Amino acid sequence: MSTESTGVPTGVPVLDDENLSESFPGPCAPMTRDVILRIYPPLVRTLARSAGLPEPASPVVFIEGRAYYSISSLSSLLRTGPEAARNLLPTHGQRPRIPLQTLRPLLRELISTFRKVEDGEVEFLRDLDTYLRIERSRFNPESDWSRIRESLLPFIDETRRRFEPVLRVDVLALFLDDLYRWIGRKAPVRTDPSTASCLRSIRHLRSAIYQDSAARDYLLSCAGTGHYSPAMLRLRNDDLAHLLNDFLDEFGDRCPGELKLETRSYREYPELFLPILLQDTERKPSTIIAAGGRSQGVTGWLDRKFAALISFRQSSRWMRARAFGVLRGRLLQMGKFLEEKGAIESREDVFYFHLEELIAMDQPGGNYRDLIMDRRVIHYDQGEINVHGRLRHDHKGNWVPDAGPQREVLRASQSLDLPMEGEVLLISQEDRMPESPEVLKGKILVMHAASPGIVHQLPWIAGLICESGSTLSHSSVLCREFGIPAIFGVKGAFERLQSGQKIRFLPRSGIIEPIG
């Protein structure tokens, strides 16, 4: 794919729901933006060079502080040449054209990848996990400023290098996802080992909480006030305290904002996790049911292979969260030094520096409070801007919001022209999201806005209707990946629809009509 001097693709004048692979749920602070740009564009170019391809455009675009990832750049990483790669993975809504000379090497690579993934946790993923655990233990609260500062760029660059094979599997998973849509078959879902382990740990925690009303009452009060103390929980139930500590140590790098450095993680703020943990702990926890069945024949073989590939992809996302968690911890230590010197008001203000500004500080000091306040205001204002439904390349090196018609309908899998019918389930902002498959199965969820956490419910629901958002919002990207028909930007849907009501909606046109 050709590029301009800015690295913006000239062959993709529009960025919309057909060529977007992922987006962040909100604007990024300057530090997150700098780290993303240091990792992903060089990573894509390195992989392209190793495959003997011209350097593709950067896979990430920033508009008003929000990150959008373009499939068109990622697709050219396949060992098929840029033109054939674009035919292989052009959109999420059109059939790919697969030349025979392109298909053969791709199938060889897919079979090789299947074998690696089928062996369980792939070797390079295990090595990455070990590396990140060692890096986390390298620094402690007594580490000095210079040592932490000098470690930032080497850590970022080494993490990028170790993610090269991970991104390659991601690209193959995206291709297979399109292939399933092409043949009109819904992609299978399988829980990856990391997520399965996380769910088992949550179930054990809920079981322990269910058996100890005093500990449950204490945790409920912490979830309400935001003041959790491990020591206070140990006084009430030492075993439960250790279970929760082990969980946060293993899985606490996840956070509401996923890979945004400025978003508080469950490791640092367990109070954010407690509302999730405490759902339904007043009754005995139910068994978690695995999604998907077991198909037979050739399609069953492909389903199992693809489910393993998607499972690997989810495991790699846990690794990404862990990598960002290690980096976040070091940045917060530097923020603490700056806070103690009076340079900033809070250690979390460190995320509003640019990476090069922090690297240039030999020692903590100065006064950056006004600068950080100005950047916080910009970040807040960007958060008030709704996600654009379409971006257009102005051929001057910039991506700009498209002034043309906004397509608020998300087209999904084989249901392009078929009506979707189901029963409405309203989920308000105050409601807890149901976790039981029996409650969610076949329902059309209607929400004011969908958070990234909805990914855990997507395997069960039949459709999604949201009052806010657009086809480029993070939740719509997740729906597309799971093949869930969804409509965004439907003002007044929450007031006009009722739980239990039967409705039909057309994913392409966005028309919603009651049944009966």
Lowest-pLDDT range of 36-45, 53-62, 170-179:
170-179
- Mean pLDDT value of segment 267-287: 67
Domains and CATH numbers, the chain: 14-191+297-381 (no CATH), 193-277 (no CATH), 409-514 (3.50.30.10)
Looking from the CA of 101 toward its CB, the CA atoms found within 13 Å total 4
Confidence (pLDDT) at 272: 81
The candidate with the shortest Cα–Cα distance to 38, out of 158, 135, 147, is 158
Q: Which two tokens stand for residue 125?
A: 């993923």
At 180 the pLDDT is 65
409 against 18, higher pLDDT: 18
pLDDT greater at residue 513 or residue 417: 513
String of DSSP letters for 111-167:
HHHHHHHHTSS-HHHHHHHHHHHHHHHT--TT--HHHHHHHHHHHHHHHHHHTHHHH
Whether residue 388 has pLDDT greater than 70: yes
- Asked if pLDDT for residue 125 goes beyond 70, the answer is yes
Question: What is the band of 67 on the pLDDT scale with cuts at 50, 70, 90?
Answer: confident
pLDDT at 69 > cutoff 60:
yes
Q: Which residues contact 265 (CB under 8 A, 6 or more apart)?
A: 252, 253, 254, 255, 272, 325, 328
Name the token pair of 211.
């058996």
What is the rounded average pLDDT of the residues 382-393? 77
The pTM for the full model equals 0.76
Neighbours of 451 (CB within 10 A): 14
> What does the pLDDT read at residue 401?
79
What residues contact residue 33 under an 8 Å CB cut-off, 6+ apart?
62, 65, 67
**pLDDT, tens digit, for every residue of 80-109?**
443 444 444 444 444 445 555 556 666 666
Q: Give the CA-trace dihedral at 124, 129, 130, 136, to 10 degrees.
A: 140
**Mean pLDDT estimate for the chain:** 75
DSSP one-letter code for 287: P
Read off the pLDDT of residues 440-495 as tens digits, 9 standing for 90 and up: 888 888 888 776 667 667 777 888 888 877 767 777 777 776 777 888 778 788 88
In this predicted structure, the answer to whether residue 307 has a pLDDT above a threshold of 50 is yes
Identify the band that residue 383 occupies on the pLDDT scale cut at 50, 70 and 90.
confident
Highest mean pLDDT of the ranges 188-192, 232-236, 273-277, 476-480: 232-236
Sort 203 into a burial class: Cβ within 10 Å, 0-12 / 13-18 / 19+: middle
CA neighbor of 176 nearest in space, from 227, 111, 267, 250: 111
Q: What is the pLDDT of residue 266?
A: 86
Q: Which residue has the tokens 């919603």?
A: 512
The average pLDDT across 322-330 equals 92
> What percentage of residues in the chain have a pLDDT greater than 90?
19
**Of 165-174, 287-296, 494-503, where does mean pLDDT reach its minimum?**
287-296
| More confident site: 417 or 376 | 376
| pLDDT of the residue at 201 | 86
Q: What is the pLDDT of residue 281?
A: 46
DSSP helix/strand/coil, 250: helix
Task: Report pLDDT digits (tens) over 166-190.
Answer: 777 776 666 666 666 666 666 565 6
* Residue 271 pLDDT > 60: yes
Q: Which one has a higher pLDDT value, 299 or 363? A: 363
pLDDT value, residue 146:
93
- Per-residue pLDDT reduced to its tens digit, 142-153: 789 999 999 999
